[in-house]
Amino acid sequence: MSHQVAAAYDQLVGSQDGSGRSPLIAPLVRLARRGSLLIATDFDGTLAPVVRDPRRARPLQMATRALAELARRTPVAVISGRDLANLAVQCPVPGVLLLGSYGLEPWMRLSPDEALPTPSAPSPGLLELAQILEELTAWLPGVQVEAKAMGVAVHYRNSPEPRRVGPTVRRMVEQLAVQDHLEIVRGKLVIEVRPPRSGNKGTAIAAILERLSPKGCVFAGDDLGDLPAMEELHRRSGDMELALAIGVLGPETNPRLEETADLCLAGPGAWAELLMQLVEALSAVSAAGRSEATAPAGR
């Protein structure tokens, strides 16, 4: 299905067919039954509701169950800006391919008896950058600097006045990024700086598509950092039967996400529900097939 055809589902996703499921499910089922549907998703704000303390973020239980079931039938990937070790702790779903640091760290597919990965240490340069940013933002209550494996993030969600503090934080970080020739990733009440040409979710999903060559792909995300993945999916839509970018909306959604996505859902709960509908539809088709196989032949 082309990008243009996929866009038409924007009007359908809220409706239901006779089975009580969204009409969007049928083309997903056809591809997933062949094991040729890549289901890719962001973590924070998409699988997991945004929380004040990122360490407490967890995917919705319905999403966890659905992803584990789907991963038994077709490729499933979680792509995040979080470090791989951090992502594995927050999203320990067996069978799901985890891409931490926008896919720059080695990819990992957890199994129930597998040990969690050892956290990757930031480079000396990133640690120095984090220290500089801590000094620059020390006078701003609630602003936190996080040194990550592949970048440094400055969070201002916990500021008493995040909307007022945001422009100040962004201006300081952007000035430093220009000075040191760093890349900037803007998100919901956070801004991140990384070494140049360090990739993004667009390069991550391109790498998965090259490796797996699925006939269809769905990607869901909620923030500006997800736009490169959506745009990459659109560029490749002519080579696939289905290429669908889903925006998962929230109170802090940037309008650019709604403009780029083929369809939009109202929060992580709606995305989890769509995933579970796909699981149920696949199970129903499998059960019907077994019934037909065991039914006595007609005379």
Could you give the C-alpha distances from 253 to 92, 121, 205, 222, 223, in angstroms and in order? Answer: 26, 31, 22, 7, 7
- Mean per-residue pLDDT, 18-35: 82
Chain centre distance of CA 293 = 38
* pLDDT band for position 289 (cuts 50, 70, 90): low
Tokens read off for 129: 């950058």
Instruction: Label residue 14 by pLDDT band (50, 70, 90).
Output: very low
Within 13 Å, how many C-alpha atoms sit on residue 66's CB side?
A: 24
pLDDT tier at 189, thresholds 50, 70, 90: very high
How far apart (Å, rounded) are the C-alpha atoms in residues 160 and 263? Answer: 34
Q: Confirm if 143 and 130 have CB atoms less than 8 A apart.
A: no
Choosing from 10, 17, 42, 53, the catalytic residue is 42
Q: What is the pLDDT of residue 111?
A: 78
Question: Lowest mean pLDDT: which of 11-15, 40-44, 203-207, 244-248?
Answer: 11-15
Active site includes 44?
A: no
The CA distances from residue 238 to 2, 12, 233, 241, in Å, are 6, 22, 10, 8
User: In Å, what is the CA distance from 196 to each residue of 22, 177, 180, 226, 272?
Assistant: 42, 10, 10, 18, 34
State how far the Cα of 277 lies from the Cα of 228, in Å rounded to an integer.
27
On the question of pLDDT at 299 being above 50, the answer is no
What backbone torsions phi and psi does residue 223 show, to the nearest 5 degrees? -140, 175
113-165 residue pLDDT tens:
667 788 888 899 999 999 999 999 999 999 999 999 999 999 999 999 999 99
Q: Go through the domains of the chain in sequence order and give each one's CATH number.
A: 3-119+199-293 (3.40.50.1000), 124-194 (3.30.70.1020)
